[in-house]
Amino acid sequence: MKAALLQMVSGVSMPHNLDSAADLLAQAAAQGAELAVLPEYFCLLGQRDTDKLAITEAFGDGPMQNRLSGMAAQHGVWLVAGSLPIAVPGDRSRVRNTCLVFNPSGECVARYDKIHLFHFDNGVERYDEARVQQAGDTPVCFDLPSRDGHTWRIGLSICFDVRFPALYRQLANMGAHVMLVPSAFTHHTGAAHWEVLMRARAIDSLVWVGAAAQGGLHENGRQTWGHSMWVDPWGQVLACQPQLAACVMADLDMRVLLERRAQLPSLCTQPQ
């Protein structure tokens, strides 16, 4: 299965970011991608954490969701919309950091709310997503019937989740063959931990890992690490884009996954 990670350098204009995402998706579709993955916060990296409250949408309807649905249907691809702010009913001060999945007909077929909220303070950089975000609590997978004849089970996660291996073992026990990690890693933490975490999650569960990232200097002054990468079930990095907007392609092969699991049967359960 051909799959694409859409690395972005999102800014403070939601419409402009959506246009950039549409351009990258068109590139991916032109290269034969069946699956395309946007990064965390693809729709907005604002001047303040609270800026996302202004573009919050109710689940199931809104300009961003309608545009994403149309993009998936236009190109006939499975589109994983890294994360966008979805309203918390009854609480206008907080949102869910939500990953939505649209099928090639434009239907939203899966929703994952980020479980582990980022907190980091090194005395210079300070982040605390819990100030404006409400954590999710449910692991999510979806099934993708591919042109290669296999039905791929895809596990969803977002950025800081990657530091919590128990979540990925849950996804593996739910039958995941691929785990996606749309992200907006800081440059500081990315330089230290990004690659080793992505490779570790692939090795832990003998899965393909696709991490679509924000990668560059943003309008708000934030520097993100980038390095969107595909990692195979043996922990080898197959494709990587260090910085700037790009479409990062890979051919995911179910035979490779099944061979590695047969060679090293370390999972609690085996997908059918």
| Inter-CA distances, 12 with 51, 93, 126, 136, Å | 9, 20, 19, 25
Residue 184 lies in a domain: yes
Look at phi and psi of residue 240 and say left if phi exceeds 0, alpha if psi is from -120 to 50, else beta: beta
The string of pLDDT tens digits covering residues 92-120 is 999 999 999 999 999 999 999 999 999 88
Catalytic: which of 52, 57, 99, 114?
114
Residue 242 lies in a domain: yes
DSSP 90-123: TEEEEEEEEEEEE-TTS-EEEEEE-SS--EEESS
Confidence band, pLDDT 50/70/90 cuts, at residue 270: very low
Range of the domain at 73: 2-263
Residue 268 lies in a domain: no
CB neighbours of residue 248 within 10 Å: 24
CATH number of the CATH domain containing 81: 3.60.110.10
Is 40 catalytic? The answer is yes
Is 159 catalytic? The answer is yes
Order of strands across the sheet with 246-251?
A: 108-113, 91-102, 78-88, 35-37, 2-7, 246-251
Least confident of 34-48, 66-80, 120-134: 120-134
Mean pLDDT of 34-40: 98
The string of pLDDT tens digits covering residues 213-239 is 999 999 999 999 999 999 999 999 999
- Residue 269 confidence (pLDDT) above 60: no
Please tell me the distance from the alpha carbon of residue 78 to that of residue 33, in angstroms, as a whole number: 9
Is 2 catalytic? The answer is no
The string of pLDDT tens digits covering residues 170-214 is 999 999 999 999 999 999 999 999 999 999 999 999 999 999 999
Mean pLDDT of 64-81: 98
Confidence band, pLDDT 50/70/90 cuts, at residue 268: low
- Residue 123 confidence (pLDDT) above 90: no
Catalytic: which of 141, 159, 240, 247?
159
The dihedral formed by the CA atoms of 183, 184, 188 and 193, expressed in degrees to the nearest 10 = 0
Residue 224 lies in a domain: yes
Q: Which residues contact 114 (CB under 8 A, 6 or more apart)?
A: 83, 96, 97, 98, 99, 129, 133, 135, 136, 157, 158, 159, 160, 161
Question: CA nearest 136: which of 163, 175, 167, 106?
Answer: 167
For the chain, how many structural domains are there in total?
1
Residue 270 lies in a domain: no
Residue-level pLDDT at 124:
80
Residue 161 lies in a domain: yes
Least confident of 46-50, 86-90, 125-129, 266-270: 266-270
The string of pLDDT tens digits covering residues 9-32 is 999 999 999 999 999 999 999 999
Whether 252 and 3 have beta carbons less than 8 Å apart is answered as: yes
Catalytic: which of 34, 40, 57, 129?
40
Please tell me the distance from the alpha carbon of residue 109 to that of residue 28, in angstroms, as a whole number: 21
Average pLDDT taken over every residue of the chain: 96
Whole-model pTM: value is 0.96
Residue 117 lies in a domain: yes
Please tell me the distance from the alpha carbon of residue 81 to that of residue 27, in angstroms, as a whole number: 16
Residue-level pLDDT at 272:
42
Mean pLDDT of 60-71: 97
Whether 79 and 101 have beta carbons less than 8 Å apart is answered as: yes
CB neighbours of residue 249 within 10 Å: 18
